[in-house]
């Protein structure tokens, strides 16, 4: 069913690309890339689950965060490496677009699988927590990489550290939402809390005339 979700989402967006120009085309293209990576990671996760004979919970906590964050990071890193003139604001936009494209297709697939069990509350939880988590993880890797690429000594270790941080955040989120009671609510709130802090810091720095996205 993930292929059906991908086709439904990707087909109209692909038809938009010929009429778009500049940054708008890149944003839609990375939405499409993120959407396709949902299919790729789904196949890889399924194969690894069968190979290692692990449960769905073990897959969610130990395997899926690694697979998903690595595959989401690769096209963002490629963009930042190949286009040396791109600024941090450009990388921020396409990284967040890639993560959101991934989340949209994943949510559509899970909604199709849930059927009538899916509710408006479920959709809001997925849209405001899981989707934001995917976008934030990819964004952090992309923006952090714009610093690492300018420092040869930090290039490899910095890139590894950024992806490792995204994997850790993703795995922690999955662990919290899989728990019962209050811990699940804490997990749902984490991406919103992280987003609020990041946006607050951005506003403060912008008001002081300090640009982190030049």
Nearest 5°: CA angle at 31, between 29 and 36?
95
Q: Per-residue confidence of the chain (214 residues) as pLDDT tens digits?
A: 788 888 988 899 999 999 998 889 999 999 999 999 999 999 999 999 999 999 999 999 999 999 999 999 999 999 988 876 777 788 889 999 999 999 999 998 888 888 877 888 888 888 889 999 999 999 999 989 888 888 878 888 999 999 999 999 999 999 999 998 899 999 999 999 999 998 888 788 777 765 555 5
Q: How far is CA 213 from the centre of its chain?
A: 19
**Per-residue burial over 55-83, b = 16 or more CB atoms within 10 Å of its CB, e = otherwise:** eeeebbbebbbbbbbbbbbebbbebbeee
Q: Give the containing element (helix H, strand E) for 162.
A: helix 155-178
pLDDT at 200: 87
Residue 11: C-alpha distances to residues 109, 148, 151 (Å): 16, 35, 40
pLDDT at 140: 93
For 40-51, the DSSP string reads HHHHHHHHHHHH
């Amino acid at each position: 069913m993930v292929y059906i979700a991908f086709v439904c989402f990707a087909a109209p967006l692909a038809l938009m690309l010929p009429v778009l120009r500049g940054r708008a085309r890149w944003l839609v293209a990375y939405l499409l890339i993120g959407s396709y990576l949902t299919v790729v990671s789904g196949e890889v996760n399924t194969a690894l689950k069968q190979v290692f004979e692990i449960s769905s919970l073990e897959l969610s906590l130990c395997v899926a965060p690694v697979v998903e964050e690595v595959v989401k990071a690769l096209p963002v890193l490629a963009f930042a490496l190949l286009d040396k003139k791109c600024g941090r604001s450009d990388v921020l936009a396409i990284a967040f677009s890639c993560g959101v494209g991934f989340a949209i297709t994943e949510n559509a697939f899970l909604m199709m699988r849930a059927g009538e069990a899916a509710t408006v509350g479920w959709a809001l939880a997925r849209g405001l927590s899981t989707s934001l988590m995917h976008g934030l993880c990819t964004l952090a890797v992309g923006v952090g990489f714009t610093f690492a690429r300018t420092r040869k000594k930090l290039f490899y270790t910095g890139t590894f550290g950024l992806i490792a941080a995204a994997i850790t955040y993703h795995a922690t989120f999955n662990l919290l939402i899989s728990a019962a009671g209050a811990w699940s609510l804490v997990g749902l709130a984490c991406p919103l809390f992280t987003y609020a802090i990041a946006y607050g810091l951005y506003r403060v720095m912008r008001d002081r005339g300090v640009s982190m996205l030049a």
